[in-house]
Amino acid sequence: MQPLNNKTMPHLKTKIGTDIHVAAELLSANNVVAIPTETVYGLAGNIFSEKAIKRIFEVKQRPASNPLIVHVHQLEALNDIVKVIPAEAKILLDAFAPGPLTLLLPKKAAVSDWVTAGLQDVAIRIPDQKLTLALIAEAGFPLAAPSANPYTYISPTSAMHVFKMLDGRIPYILDGGSCRLGLESTIIGFERGKPTLYRKGAITIEEIEDKIGKIKLPVSQKIVAPGMHLKHYSPKTKLILSDDPETDIHKYGNLKVGLITYNAYSNLLPCEQQILLCQDDDFKVAGANLYGAMHLIDSMNYDMIIVRKFPETGIGLSINDRLNRAKAQR
């Protein structure tokens, strides 16, 4: 694999629509299009077209060392892409597919090294989004689809998020409405044969372990799956993750601050400077609302964004993972 050239992107007329036939025709012609999933919007291309895969990296300005997730529309399609499916993987597929589960499995030779960043395992999932499942069936080939945003920026959960970030860089956005879950998929691999968590996501660790028993963390921090880079999901505005927002609001009182919180507003800021993600500890709702809140507050020209840290359990672990990467400086 050779590094991608950083050439000037051509300016396209970006359209938003719901026609899977238009999207399928563009994909068949080696173009890339934005697609909805239940997690976030993806930037999709034919996995068997090196031109399309390279285009994904160019549009996102994503390093070629960062692998992509392959999306298929049915379990049978896995047989064309992966060599073997471990017993625990079959249990998880039965329980969570279609859904926000991504599995790292040994790839067949038909899958380009561009898709896997030269690694021998391919990340693969079946999205739980009827429009996109119909599109994959119509196109007749699996789709590689990382999030449809510039590299390291906030993931998109609506067609308009994609349009604001990629207008003029892609020809079509397939509009499936707001993403139902709003957090990326949970990624499970099988390091040395043992189920291993590579990315916390919309399916909680507890839900995974309820099906297959204890899972472990990777032995090394080598990038083998999407979402493992330290800096990711980041707004342009400086963001801090706070155990005590009230103290931090006082600390940065000389700055114009926006607050993302849950359950109750702070009395220290006007309500219009705050976004409440959920009430009554409904953290699934908070996860679904997180990226939309981050896009909105990042557009409001604050000096700093303070986000109240979530409890380190259940979906709170996944939300905090995104926020820790969002605040990273490199």
pLDDT digits (tens, 9 = 90+) for 147-183: 999 999 999 999 999 999 999 999 999 999 999 999 9
Evaluate whether residue 10 is within a structural domain.
Answer: no
Structure tokens at 163: 């349009």
193 and 280, same domain (yes or no): no
198 C-beta neighbours (distance < 10 Å), count: 22
pLDDT of residue 233: 85
Evaluate whether residue 218 is within a structural domain.
Answer: no
Q: What is the pLDDT of residues 76-92, one digit of tens each?
A: 999 999 999 999 999 99
Evaluate whether residue 233 is within a structural domain.
Answer: no
DSSP per position, 91-125: HHHHHH-SSSEEEEEEBPTTS-HHHHTT-SEEEEE
243 and 191, same domain (yes or no): no
131 and 58, same domain (yes or no): yes
Q: What distance in Å separates the CA atoms of residue 75 and residue 55, rounded to the nearest whole number? A: 27
Q: Which is it for strands 239-242 and 172-174: parallel, antiparallel or unpaired?
A: unpaired
Is a pLDDT exceeding 60 seen at residue 126? yes
Within the chain, where are the H helices? 20-28, 50-60, 87-96, 113-116, 130-139, 159-166, 205-212, 245-251, 283-298, 315-326
Please give the tally of structural domains in the chain: 2
79 and 179, same domain (yes or no): yes
Q: What distance in Å separates the CA atoms of residue 101 and residue 116, rounded to the nearest whole number? A: 17
State the virtual CA torsion across 288, 289, 295, 300 in degrees, nearest 10.
Answer: -170
CA neighbours within 13 Å on the CB side: how many for 94? Answer: 9
Instruction: Decide: 235 and 326 in contact? Cβ < 8 Å.
Output: yes
Taking alpha carbons only, the member of 7, 33, 6 closest to residue 170 is 33
Evaluate whether residue 140 is within a structural domain.
Answer: yes
Which residues touch 261 (CB under 8 Å, ≥6 apart)? Answer: 245, 274, 275, 276, 277, 307, 308
Strand-pairing partners, residue 307, are 241, 260
93 and 194, same domain (yes or no): yes
pLDDT of residue 218: 81
Residue 301 pLDDT class (50, 70, 90 cuts): very high
Question: Could you say which of 197, 212, 227 is where a domain stops?
Answer: 212
Taking alpha carbons only, the member of 51, 49, 65 closest to residue 117 is 65
DSSP per position, 174-208: E---S-SS-SPPEEEEEETTEEEEEE--SS-HHHH
201 and 261, same domain (yes or no): no
Taking alpha carbons only, the member of 11, 127, 146, 144 closest to residue 73 is 127
Q: What distance in Å separates the CA atoms of residue 185 and residue 259, rounded to the nearest whole number? A: 26
Evaluate whether residue 151 is within a structural domain.
Answer: yes
Higher pLDDT, 8 or 196: 196
- Full strand arrangement of the beta sheet holding 239-242: 239-242, 304-308, 257-261, 274-276
Question: Could you say which of 172, 196, 212 is where a domain stops?
Answer: 212
Evaluate whether residue 5 is within a structural domain.
Answer: no
pLDDT of residue 7: 52
Residue 12 pLDDT class (50, 70, 90 cuts): confident
Domain holding 249: CATH number? Answer: 3.40.50.11030
Evaluate whether residue 320 is within a structural domain.
Answer: yes
- What is the residue range of 244's domain? 239-326
pLDDT of residue 5: 52
112 and 20, same domain (yes or no): yes
102 and 170, same domain (yes or no): yes
Instruction: Decide: 124 and 209 in contact? Cβ < 8 Å.
Output: no
pLDDT of residue 9: 55
287 and 172, same domain (yes or no): no
pLDDT of residue 4: 53
Evaluate whether residue 224 is within a structural domain.
Answer: no
243 and 115, same domain (yes or no): no
243 and 208, same domain (yes or no): no
186 and 50, same domain (yes or no): yes
